[in-house]
Structure 1
Amino acid sequence: MTVAVLVLLALTAGGGLALMVLDERLRPAWAALTLVVPLGIAAVLAWAAGPVSGGWLQAVLLLAVAAAVSAGGPVATAVLRSADPTSASVAGGPSDPEVLRGGAWIGVLERVAIAGTLLAGWPEGLAVVLAVKGLGRFAELRAPAAAERFILGTLASALWAVGCVGVVVLLRR
C-alpha cells in the first residue's frame, strides 16, 4: 500500500506542476479535482497501511512536500475562481496586477513553511507563518476584494499543505 501512496503523491505533485504551467485563466476550476482525488485516496491508503519507516517514509515525505508546493497553487486558484467566477475578467481579479502581487510565490513559500513546521513537530509554526503573511499584506488588505482573495487563498493554500503533510503523519504513527 505504501507504493500506491507514493504513486498517488507523485501523480498529485506532477499534476500540480502540469497545471502550474498553464495560464490560470485557461485552467478550468474542475482541474483541481484531478489533484484532490489522488491526495484523498493516498490519505485513505496511508491510514489503512499503518506505520512505515526508513526510506519509504522519507520518499513519502519528499513527495508530500512536493505535492503541497506544486499543487497548492492550482487548488487555491480553483477555490478563488469558484468563490467568484467573474474575478478573472473584472478589476480586482487575477488579471489586475496591482491586487496582491507576488501571491503565487508567497503561496509556494507559505506551503513550504507550513509543511516544514508540521513535519518538524512544531504546529505552532503554522500561526507564525500565517501571522507573518498577514502582517506583510496588511497595507494591501484595506480593499475588500483584496482582503477576500487573501483570506480564501491563504486558507485554501494552508489547508492543502496540511492535507499533504497529513499523509506523512498517517504513515508515521
Structure 2
Amino acid sequence: MTALVLALTAGGLLFAVLAWIPKSEGATLEIVLSGVMLACGVAVGLVLLAGDGVASWPERWWNVLLLLAGGLAVTGGGPLTTSVLALVDRGNTRAQSTQKAGEVLRGGALIGSLERGAIFAALVAGWPEGLAIVLAIKGLARYPELRSPDQPASVTPQAVAERFIIGSFTSVLWSVTCAGFLLSH
C-alpha cells in the first residue's frame, strides 16, 4: 500500500508540473492534465481510506509522502484552479469572464502557491488556525482590488469577485486535501 500511495502521489505531482506547461489559460491540455492529477489524488485518498492510512508507516516513507504531497499541494492547485475557472467561463461573455478578471487580480498564481504552501504547512504541523489566518490575510490584501471603482470597463465587478471566491475555494480545498493524505490514520 505504501508504494502505491507514493507512486500515485508522485504521478499526481508529475501531471501537476506538466499542467503548468500549456501557455493559454484554460487550454484543453491543461484541463485534461489537471483531471488526471485530480484522479491520482482521489485514488490516493481511496487507497488510504481502504487501508490504515499512514499511521503504521515507517517515518522515512511518511517523510517522502510529506515532500510529494507538499509539492503536489503547491504546484497542483494552480492548474486545477485555472481549469475550474475555465470550466466556469463556458458560455460567459468576455466582460463576465473570470479569465479576463485575472487582469484586475494580478499575481494570483504566485499568491495562490504561497497560500497553498502556508495552508499545507499549517495543517501538517497541527495548527489548523493557520488556515483562518492565511485566508484573512488574503481577503484583507485583496479587498481594495475587489472594491476598486477603477476597474477596467472590459470586466464586470462580479467577474472579479467570482474569480477571487472560486479561485480561493479551489486552491484551499486542494491544499487541505493534500494535507489530509498525511493526516490519515
Q: Which residue of 2 aligns with 1:64?
A: 69
Consecutive unaligned residues of structure 1, counting only runs of 5 or more, are none
Distance 1:26 1:120 in 2: 34
Q: Which residue of 2 aligns with 1:20?
A: 20
Consecutive unaligned residues of structure 2, counting only runs of 5 or more, are 148-156
Q: Which residue of 2 aligns with 1:46?
A: 48
Q: Which residue of 2 aligns with 1:112?
A: 117
Q: Which residue of 1 aligns with 2:7?
A: 7
2:104–2:160 contact (8 Å) kept in structure 1: yes
Secondary structure in structure 1 of the residue aligned to 2:94: coil
Distance 1:53 1:121 in 2: 19
Distance 1:134 1:85 in 2: 26
Cα distance change on mapping 1:97 and 1:118 into 2, 3 Å: closer
1:65–1:112 contact (8 Å) kept in structure 2: yes
Displacement, 1:79?
1.2
- Across the aligned residues of Structure 1 and Structure 2, the Cα RMSD in angstroms comes to 1.7
Distance 2:139 2:24 in 1: 24
Kindly indicate whether residue 104 of structure 2 is the aligned counterpart of residue 99 of structure 1: yes
Distance 2:87 2:167 in 1: 11
So what's the TM-score if we normalise by structure 1? 0.91
Kindly indicate whether residue 140 of structure 2 is the aligned counterpart of residue 135 of structure 1: yes
Displacement, 1:86?
5.1
The aligned amino acid for 1:19 is A
Q: Which one is further off, 119-128 or 91-100?
A: 91-100
Distance 1:96 1:141 in 2: 10
The aligned amino acid for 1:85 is R
Displacement, 1:46?
1.8
2:25–2:86 contact (8 Å) kept in structure 1: no
Displacement, 1:97?
5.8
Cα distance change on mapping 1:97 and 1:141 into 2, 3 Å: closer
CA-to-aligned-CA distance 1:58-109 (integer Å, 9 cap, x gap): 011110011111111111111111112256x824543566321000000000
Q: Which residue of 2 aligns with 1:123?
A: 128
Secondary structure in structure 2 of the residue aligned to 1:21: coil
So what's the TM-score if we normalise by structure 2? 0.85
